[in-house]
Amino acid sequence: MKSIIMAAGKGTRMKSDLPKVVHLAHGKPMVVRIIDALNALDVEENILILGHKKEKVLEVLGNDVSYVVQEEQLGTGHAVKQAIPKIKDYDGDVLIINGDIPLIRKQTLIDFYNFYKSENADGIILSAVFENPFSYGRVIKDGNKVLRIVEEKEANEEQKKVKEINAGVYIFKAQDLVKALEKINNNNEKGEYYITDVIEILSNENKKVISYSLEDSMEIQGVNSKVELALVSKVLRERKNTSLMEDGVILIDPATTYIDDDVKIGRDTTIYPNVTLQGNTEIGENSEILSGTRIIDSKIYDNVRIESSVIEESIVENGVTIGPYAHLRPKSHLKENVHIGNFVETKKSTLEKGVKAGHLTYLGDAHIGEKTNIGAGTITCNYDGKNKFKTEIGKEVFIGSDTMLVAPVTVGDNSLIGAGSVITKDVPSDSLSVERSKQIIKEGWKK
């Protein structure tokens, strides 16, 4: 099977400089969601019909994607016609789908295709039954056979009473489709070429065209505005959250929890309100992610507690506690039982087992040994204006408050640095290092 994805529309009601299909529906471009769903059918080629700002779509999908260009917006039939060179010598089936229905499920497409094959049909349309079908194309049938699709503006009063509507997904035999496309015209209210005219052409040739009606009509919700984009994103978010809860995750308030599709969470982990989990984040079991936390592309192990913090592209091992108001920047690695407290920032640093940094600290380009204690206000001064340098701190080191470690510098195991020191030279193991001005006391100064 090949697919044709209609993605050339300008989406003027979106009021955006971006093509409609690249807008994010719950964290993924709509067109990517369509392709992901089609992958369930083992499609051998997805052919995209591009037009308005096609380069923006190619930035998302890559330049090696199969596509054709619709230079003028002359209707859905005209759009599909542009793909004829890619299917004219093909003997298989072709599925046609709109690029702006991101709620379509993989299983729906599987069932749709299987029904088409089981009925030995020449064509099939996906449909739904609406109590109020206003503005949708009506499916006109004779028994189980679809005769035609009539658009709202061209329907007579009797046809407008039909509640089965066209969902905008079709399967045809490639050669039947190519021949029918050559016959469609634009003799209609809009002066456009409709892909739906293919159905009437095939029906008039005694071809068997059938419909497959959806149980959940929300799956075909199109996106033509930012309001509808928010609507489908909400549905996708609810699907993800429901799936997680069914797998044993505790969501205190699913309505205020944002979790991307690719996020994985272990059972008995609790996610509090106003948490955002994005990208390829993985969280283990029995952890707590408290309100105000955002985690992006990170791996969090078991029994971790994170409060009101931001974590990016980092690894957090078992038993770690973070926050509130900590920031783990990319390539941070916190090993077992590390504690990172309020207003601590790490970047490209490894903290070995049991390290504690409780307050107001910056640890960048650093390696810190087991059970070391980092005092409040400590800074690894890793940048000289041109280059970044590394700070190496050994095991069981005690670093006093307000210490500046000017990299490159090494602090040996079991050493102690006095509060307020500026360390510019390596500190030997088992030593005390203090660098500060002499305290001056002038008695009676304020008399």
| Residues forming the active site | 359
Q: Is 323 annotated as a binding residue?
A: no
Q: What are phi and psi of 197, to 5 degrees?
A: -65, -25
Rounded Cα distance, 447 and 427, in Å: 43
Q: Is 347 annotated as a binding residue?
A: yes
Q: Is 412 annotated as a binding residue?
A: no
Q: Is 373 annotated as a binding residue?
A: yes
Indicate left, alpha or beta for 133 from its phi (over 0: left) and psi (-120 to 50: alpha).
Answer: alpha
Q: Is 206 annotated as a binding residue?
A: no
Q: What are phi and psi of 142, to 5 degrees?
A: -120, 95
Rounded Cα distance, 66 and 61, in Å: 10
Q: Is 332 annotated as a binding residue?
A: no
Q: Is 237 annotated as a binding residue?
A: no
User: Interior CA angle at 358 toward 318 and 265, to 5°?
Assistant: 30
Q: Is 20 annotated as a binding residue?
A: yes
Q: Is 70 annotated as a binding residue?
A: yes
Q: Is 305 annotated as a binding residue?
A: no
Counts of helices then strands in the chain (DSSP H, E): 9, 39
**CB neighbours (10 Å) of residue 358?**
15
CA distances from 302 to 207, 299, 318 (A): 59, 10, 5
399: DSSP letter: E
Q: Is 75 annotated as a binding residue?
A: yes
93: β partners: 173
Q: Is 401 annotated as a binding residue?
A: yes
DSSP letters, 31-94, are HHHHHHHHGGGT-SEEEEEE-TTHHHHHHHH-TTSEEEE--S---HHHHHHTTHHHHTT--SEE
Write the burial class of residue 384 (CB in 10 Å: 0-12 exposed, 13-18 middle, 19+ buried).
Answer: exposed
What residues contact residue 330 under an 8 Å CB cut-off, 6+ apart? 312, 313, 314, 347, 348
Q: Is 386 annotated as a binding residue?
A: no
Q: Is 221 annotated as a binding residue?
A: no
Q: Is 410 annotated as a binding residue?
A: no
SS3 264: strand
Q: Is 203 annotated as a binding residue?
A: no
Q: Is 388 annotated as a binding residue?
A: no
Q: Is 276 annotated as a binding residue?
A: no
234: DSSP letter: H
Annotated binding-site positions = 20, 70, 75-76, 100, 137, 151, 166, 224, 329, 347, 362, 373, 376, 382-383, 401, 419, 436
Annotated binding-site positions for acetyl-CoA = 376, 382-383, 401, 419, 436
Annotated binding-site positions for Mg(2+) = 100, 224
Annotated binding-site positions for UDP-N-acetyl-alpha-D-glucosamine = 20, 70, 75-76, 137, 151, 166, 224, 329, 347, 362, 373
